[in-house]
Amino acid sequence: MLYVWLLILVLLNAVWLVLVLFGLPGNWLMVFSTVLFAWWKWDEGLFSGWTLAAIAVLALLGELIEFFAGMVGARKSGASWPASIAGLFGALLGAVVGTTMFAVPLVGTVVGACLGAGLSVWAVEASRGEHPDLSLRRGVGAGAGKLLGIVGKFALGIGIWLIITAAAFWP
């Protein structure tokens, strides 16, 4: 019966992993469900404290990468600090708007976050009197950085899922 429960945990964590692409905290849901499972079946010795700590650190790293990637992309393309910070908030707002406005949820969330970051950086840079081409380039840098952040967080989520799966079925 233990293997049935482990299979349910692995499948549930696969669902949580997909949620990362929708801008939801899927990596943290994988950590949370695995910690709860480990606590529930602690006598079985399935997940060590080191494994649980490792997946929590990876989830934290994924959040940091996603959160700051748009700002780093904006800064690398020459945007000011105020524009880069505006990109953080623009990505959040864009993800919400994109999710509600686009018919395809995954595309809407990702495109909305990237457009939100890019448009907010572009708007702040343009309002500061920067040349339109420079403002546009900096906005594109913020949007591209945000996309790389989403991909990076998802890649770490795959790593978390693989660690949990291997630890669940490894003798």
Q: Is the pLDDT of residue 83 over 90?
A: yes
Task: Give me the pLDDT at residue 107, please.
Answer: 85
- pTM score of the predicted model: 0.86
Inter-residue contact 12 to 165 (CB < 8 Å): no
Give 93-122 as a DSSP string. HHHHHHHHHSSSHHHHHHHHHHHHHHHHHH
- Does residue 170 or residue 35 have the better pLDDT? 35
Percentage of the chain lying above the pLDDT 90 cut: 70
Task: Give me the pLDDT at residue 67, please.
Answer: 85
Inter-residue contact 90 to 122 (CB < 8 Å): no
Over residues 2-53, the pLDDT tens digits come to 899 999 999 999 999 999 988 789 999 999 999 999 999 998 888 999 999 9
Task: Give me the pLDDT at residue 171, please.
Answer: 67
Over residues 122-133, the pLDDT tens digits come to 999 999 988 989
Question: Residue 56: helix, strand or coil by DSSP?
Answer: helix
Distance of CA 57 to the CA centre of its chain: 14
Over residues 87-119, the pLDDT tens digits come to 999 998 998 898 888 877 678 889 999 999 999
